[in-house]
Structure 1
Amino acid sequence: MALLRGAGLSLKRWVGRNAERLERDYGDPAVTRIREAAQAADWAQVREGLAAHPESEDRTWLLWAVGDTAGVERWIQDAVAAEPDSALPLLVAGARWVRWGWEARTGALAKHVSREQFEVFHERLRQAETWLYRAAELEPSWLSPWHFLQVSGRGLEVGPVLARRRFEAAARRAPHHLRVHQQHLQQVCEKWGGSHEEMHSFARSSMLAAPEGSLLGQLVAIAHIEQWLRLGEGPGRQYMRREETAASLREAAERSVLHPGAERGRGWAQACNSFALAASLAGETQLARRSFEAAPDTVTEFPWQYVNSADPVLAYRRHRSSVGA
């Protein structure tokens, strides 16, 4: 779920004169404020924070921060009951129940998840869908309900046809939305019933359909990392060292994080980190160095937890050192 959330713990490590920082709240004070309001069970402040960032400004980052906050499930239903015709409390409830469902499942492989865990997982996701569909009915133009319905749908295994419809519903409302595309990329991964071919095709076609400078190029790096993980250490290393892989990463980086008109803001550091890891694994020293230097000393939980889940900063440091960045 780290890719879905992107938030991390506050941490600083010093190496020589460089301070490596695990990014907190996507580097956005608005996300920090709304997370703190959620922790304080202050619905008025949460509502105000969401209302201050309309759908056109992408509320999914704020909603994930609230959804990630333990205890929201204890008070948000009162807000839903008090405002039955308002989509905002429904969105928050849906976001929290999606995240709460995945907490019950844990990040373990399916074979290590008990039947009881799956029952709680699915029960919470079904409740989330009830609220999210109601929010979508109340606000048909909003993207956020469809973003979270992609995540709940994957957990409920709604199948490729319905999953694609949910992605398309979100994409119609925001054609080049990074997080919407990240979610569908996970859907078409082999581990969720897709294939490497479908995953790479979706990543590259999404990148090419977006304007140059769009962060959708990150999808290409993520797709290579996903296949590297799936193949395992030996075959994965061989795959990453292919010239086709390196060429694909160079093309995507130049169209996204290394483009002169690259989008900056939320998601920027994670995109740079994704290219840094993928290029490092591919032996593309120059590309890896440029990717590290594009967001200097900023570590994001994803993708480094794939290398070292206990200490993503250490994984970042080792790979950065290996390319001389």
Structure 2
Amino acid sequence: MALLGDWGLTLGKWAGRPSARVQKDSGDPAVGRVREAAAAGNWPAVREVLEARPESEDRVELLWAVGDTAGVERWISPVLEAEPEAALPRLVAGIRHISWGWEARTAARASQVSREQFDLFHARLRTAETWLYEAAEREPRWVSPWYGLQVTGRGLQVGQVTARRRFEATVRRDPHHLQAHQQQLQQVCDKWGGSHEEMHAFARASAFAAPGGTLLGQLVAIAHIEEWLSLDSGPDAAYMGRHEVKASLHEAADHSIRHLDFVREGGWLQVLNTFAMAFSLAGDRNAARECFRATEGRVTEFPWYYLDGSDPAAAYRKRRSAIGR
């Protein structure tokens, strides 16, 4: 196990105090290339980038970069017609319709979303499911279609049994798929029909069943943040300050971000940001300080948008200043 003081050897020295800045992606140059190609409607270029990143190396970030690009729904239609047996355009169409669906719903509370918005949201998610199932049929070993079906399933409220089956289908293909576990954690949250007990049990079982150094330790931190979010002011701070919560966070950190096998790949930066927020909320200044240092001022929108949806970097800076240097 790498001690907190050893992080500088593996995660980089923190020279001074870098200004916080939101990092929209992992820094992978392929993300920018595929987003630019999608915006231009250049399917051959999009396909080239996606095919260069096999499913075994987790191309979810690249797919979301395409899916979040406006206008993809227009140019992907003729591609689907021209390539009726190809899985990749169906996967792209499915991911785009998920993002497009949430654009219709917006991030507003359900009580503030109109019936017309919900109808369009659900229609686009049902279309996404059609394309994702077709992609899965054509490429049974691919992970991304099943991960996409986890996302659509939560939006369509398919129920816990179906949601669990979709999660299991994803992790059969990639046992330590971070995004799949994040989706299932949300599925078993109290706010989505689960419970705090089920959420914490899932987080711990997933994190500690995985080898040391994987990113799944984040699930434990997310679960504590989710329970904190569910509480009123006062009880929320009391919850995070409990000895058993702090001990749980340290145990998860030891098994993931502090482990000798932890490496900077995939969603590592988001994982560090999540532990930084959790430890700061718990009042564990030393642990939080080391997490902030390891991020080197790079902020991920999740989980900081829970504190400030319009300016996650401001929330990061505020919590970092509160724990001191």
Alignment TM class, shorter chain as reference: over 0.9
Question: Taking structure 2 as the reference length, what is the TM-score of the superposition?
Answer: 0.93
| 1:213-269 residue CA offsets vs partner (Å, 9 max, x unmatched) | 001000111111111111132221111111111011111111111222103122111
Does the aligned pair in 2 maintain the 1:25–1:32 contact within 8 Å? Answer: no
What SS does the aligned partner of 2:261 have?
coil
Question: Taking structure 1 as the reference length, what is the TM-score of the superposition?
Answer: 0.93
Does the aligned pair in 2 maintain the 1:28–1:266 contact within 8 Å? Answer: no
| 1:159-206 residue CA offsets vs partner (Å, 9 max, x unmatched) | 000000000000000001111101111111111111111111100100
- Percent identity between matched residues is 64
Report the CA distance between 1:132 and its aligned residue: 0.2
Give the equivalent residue in structure 2 for 1:6.
none
Distance 2:312 2:52 in 1: 33
Structure 1 residue 243 and structure 2 residue 222: aligned?
no
Give the equivalent residue in structure 1 for 2:73.
73
| 1:87-116 residue CA offsets vs partner (Å, 9 max, x unmatched) | 100000000001111111111221111111
Q: For the aligned residues, what is the CA RMSD?
A: 1.3
Does the aligned pair in 1 maintain the 2:220–2:248 contact within 8 Å? Answer: yes
Does the aligned pair in 2 maintain the 1:93–1:128 contact within 8 Å? Answer: yes
Structure 1 residue 198 and structure 2 residue 195: aligned?
no
The letter of the residue matching 1:51 is: E
Distance 1:84 1:136 in 2: 14
**Structural mapping, 1:108-147, within 5 Å:** 108-147=108-147
**Relative contact order higher in (CA < 8 Å, ≥ 6 apart):** 2
Distance 2:257 2:33 in 1: 28
| 1:279-320 residue CA offsets vs partner (Å, 9 max, x unmatched) | 000011111111111221111111111111111111101111
Give the equivalent residue in structure 2 for 1:34.
34
Give the equivalent residue in structure 1 for 2:159.
159
Does the aligned pair in 1 maintain the 2:215–2:268 contact within 8 Å? Answer: yes
Distance 1:18 1:163 in 2: 41
| 1:43-92 residue CA offsets vs partner (Å, 9 max, x unmatched) | 11100000000111111111111111111111111111111111100000
Give the equivalent residue in structure 2 for 1:57.
57
Give the equivalent residue in structure 2 for 1:169.
169
Distance 1:263 1:196 in 2: 30
Query: How many residues matched?
Result: 311
Give the equivalent residue in structure 1 for 2:285.
285
What SS does the aligned partner of 1:26 have?
coil
Q: Which runs of 5+ in 2 are unaligned?
A: 1-15
Does the aligned pair in 2 maintain the 1:304–1:313 contact within 8 Å? Answer: yes
Q: Which runs of 5+ in 1 are unaligned?
A: 1-15
Does the aligned pair in 1 maintain the 2:24–2:301 contact within 8 Å? Answer: no
